A and B are shown apart, each in its own frame.
Chain A
Amino acid sequence: MENSINIKLKVWRQAGPKAKGRFETYELSNISTDSSFLEMFDILNEQLINKGEEPVAFDHDCREGICGMCSLYINGRPHGPDDDVTTCQLHMRKFKDGQTITIEPWRSAGFPVIKDLIVDRTAFDQIIASGGYVSVNTGGIPDANAIPIPKPDADEAMDAASCIGCGACVAACKNGSAMLFVSAKVSQMALLPQGRVEATRRAKNMVAKMDELGFGNCTNTGACEVECPKGISLANIARLNREFLKASLQD
């Protein structure tokens, strides 16, 4: 049952935001193909620590594909070679014995490197802060069933809402655009009566914030949709564009 492989890793190491980075090469043997990609990293780090070296810093938390914390550019693809999964859900059975695996951080103007493979994605929080919500306070709210919502709308809103904020869409985009992320939130809210009220204002503010933070323009390459681990659809970008158009007509 148990299979194991030997692999060579080329890992990006960078001591700090301003330090110069470089690739380091490491060899690992007898990696069980049942282990996850991040467990393979744990093994690497255990070996580095035992040699007295600094382990490789990388982001992760839930390790089940939902928190959006893990990142990594693996052999040129955000979240690696498997489809519809995050890096933490990737398993070593997707790699061959003797293979060289190149691992880099997300590379994008909007996400500066903090250390090794860790990048700063707080720009996403700033975009949400600029309008990614319904403006209601706690309490004094009508009954949850006061406004019926057609099931197809609710389901579509749920699909858009399943974005985990990982940033793979930005990392995959040659322009470094955050349109897929922004459009997922704008769509979710625009589809629901509670969010509809502020839909145009929200679209305008979030796009303005995205531009201000140095993310690039969307030229419809579609690379984001391919790499998104949660299957967020390009249709959301079309909806965002419609909201945005409405906003500019109102100005």
Chain B
Amino acid sequence: MVKIDAKIPEGPMAQKWENYKANQKLVNPANKRKLDIIVVGTGLAGASAAASFGEMGFNVKVFTIQDSPRRAHSIAAQGGINAAKNYPNDGDSVYRLFYDTVKGGDYRAREANVHRLAEVSNSIIDQCVAQGVPFAREYGGLLDNRSFGGAQVSRTFYAKGQTGQQLLLGAYQALMRQVNAGSVKLYTRNEMVEIVMVDGKARGIISRNLVTGKLERHFGHAVVLATGGYGNTFFLSTNAMGSNGSAAWKAYKKGAMFANPCFAQIHPTCIPVHGEFQSKLTLMSESLRNDGRIWVPKKKEDAEAIRAGKLKPTEIAEEDRDYYLERRYPAFGNLVPRDVASRAAKERCDAGYGVGNTGLAVYLDFKSSIDRLGSDAIKARYGNLFQMYEKIVDDNPYETPMMIYPAIHYTMGGIWVDYELQTSVPGLFSAGEANFSDHGANRLGASALMQGLADGYFVLPYTIQNYLADDIATPRMTTEEKEFEEAEKAAKGHFEKLISIKGNRSVDSIHKELGLVMWDFVGMARNKEGLQEAIEKIQAIKKEFWSNVRIPGSEEDMNIELEKAARLADFIEIGDLMARDALHREESCGGHFREEFQTEEGEALRQDDKFAYSGCWEFKGDDQEPELHKEELKFEVVKLVQRNYK
């Protein structure tokens, strides 16, 4: 039985982190050299943590599945990173960033973690500037800010539309500096496939060298998982093709609890699916909603004619258009939060008003803004996005409305961690999107980058010492020990089993099937019957996978189908847990919308008396139902209220 102890420090909210740091244990320099830390993942969270540990004097081993740490999925983030600097003097503060994040998360995050995040946010910007990150500046030479959803202040720092890229390159370069110094050893194209446990503690990993197919054993006094989110359970998402949930899932099977798996974020402005061979979805920045108006035809005949290619959107008269967000939410209009905008698009398309050749798209129209401001102004604001759209869709958004549709984008749920970012397995830590910590049921724009770097630069370098201080007398283990041998054997057995199925279906074909079930039943709008059906369907997919998948080639070679198959095996189980979690949570909050729990106007209805907790799932065995534990959320500072965007 796991006991949930979030280890929140004593004291008033604003002093908890200071109190923690004042009282934690430290490791002296001579002892740091004797301690090994394994970091899995080189996104913002992993690269920043590994570089910092190396600078501090620990021996670090860092792993990534890509050919270079610089290619982690974080590279793709566009919009920006939040911090409470208050440079524009518009009333921002640590408290306000904390408050906005708790509220934006629909009151399902742990206050103490969020407060610390807001506290360290400013240091992140300082750090990145010192590394040479070329943030946007004003003519006076100081840093520029922009505003983002869910905030009334401008607190978002950005580097063109490539903020994630520039922040990651900063962290990557810091990491490579440590590689050069010899404190960090880098393993690329190398995938963690198992966690090694010794006497109840995480003491290493088994990894697969993706070039040779060989399994390797690695010892560490502590292990950090910074392996990103599991959005690709849906097959189609805005995540990179290689993003996966497997490391988190291995941790779950070794006793780490998985928290709030059903909290997934759907982004309303993505380029719609064009056909059956679509491989991923491209995000169009949220900022477009500032100047674009969203609509579908008022008449079903018009929508049908458009789908059949007989009518163009520009031929539809103004009075025959339904600007449904402006109609339903006159106060916020096209700028309602992500979840509200997404559900409204789905509602119109399900009702038969969708456009595009699939009927699963709505228009985002810039005509009135172009008429009002001129196309040069629109080009200055969104030129690069319009160009990207045109390259993909071959349509000119200056002349004809863009088509958009919601897509899975981010997972708030993840490995449960306490205040120290330690999982329920001693010695196993988790950072970045892989953990569940700071965003509750919904993440605000520009806050994931902030969290990843906060965890890696400014939280783990402290908290991991508190753990390792008790380990200074623990000698390095040789990887000949039986625990390593057994873990390697288990991993080997898993891959051999996959290869030996020799069925008739490709990995992707089964993954697509899973994705459709997830999208239809565990997507934007969920209900009890649908979720129960999803659980059954996922079981059937699991059976199909384990009896009918076909993986050409051998396991002792570079084998991309085998890599994908191993990840899909885990996605199927993650999908199952997402559905179970969604079924148990009989309320609507943030990214989790249960149709049974809505107001008359169709707004999400939380059930604070019953569900003001994080749902933490414990693995009980392959054929057993997982067990739910609850981390009750106590709100000492923020008052719970219903969101309203009318």
Contact = CB atoms under 8 A, between A and B. Distances in A.
Interface of A: 1-2, 16, 32, 34-36, 38-39, 42-43, 45-46, 48-50, 52-55, 57, 59-69, 82, 85, 89, 91, 93, 114-115, 118, 120-122, 124-125, 128-130, 132-139, 141-145, 148-151, 154-155, 157-158, 161-162, 164-165, 188-189, 192, 194-195
B364 to A, nearest CB: 18
B212 to A, nearest CB: 9
A124 B68 contact: yes
A133 B509 contact: no
Nearest to A196: B132
Nearest to A145: B142
B130 A154 contact: no
B525 to A, nearest CB: 27
A61 B165 CA distance: 14
A195 B242 CA distance: 33
B465 to A, nearest CB: 14
B240 A62 contact: yes
B275 A165 contact: no
Contacts of B561: 49, 55
Contact of B552 (A52, A143, A192): A52
Central interface residue in B87, B130, B186, by most chain A CB within 10 Å: B130
Contact of B176 (A60, A115, A128, A192): A128
Interface in B228-250: 240-242
Contacts of B509: 46
Interface in B490-545: 504, 506, 508-509
A119 to B, nearest CB: 9
Contacts of A67: 66, 71, 73, 75-76, 240
Interface of B: 48, 51-52, 55, 66-71, 73, 75-76, 85, 87, 123, 125-132, 134-143, 159-160, 162, 165-166, 169, 172-174, 176-177, 179-180, 186, 188, 211, 240-242, 274-275, 277-280, 282, 309, 357, 388, 391-394, 457-458, 461, 504, 506, 508-509, 550, 552-553, 557-558, 560-561
A129 B75 contact: no
Top 7 A-B pairs, shortest CB-CB distance: A148-B141, A133-B173, A158-B134, A129-B176, A129-B180, A144-B129, A157-B134
Contact of B188 (A55, A122, A142, A150): A122
Given A67-B76, A158-B166, 16 more contacts: A2-B357, A49-B550, A49-B552, A54-B552, A66-B165, A67-B240, A91-B392, A122-B188, A139-B458, A141-B123, A143-B126, A151-B137, A155-B134, A158-B159, A165-B71, A192-B132
Nearest to A132: B173
A137 B66 contact: no
Nearest to B87: A145
Central interface residue in B51, B135, B279, by most chain A CB within 10 Å: B279
A151 B141 contact: yes
Contacts of B506: 45-46, 49-50
Contacts of A46: 506, 508-509
Contacts of A135: 177
A133 B174 contact: yes
A32 B278 CA distance: 11
Nearest to A61: B240
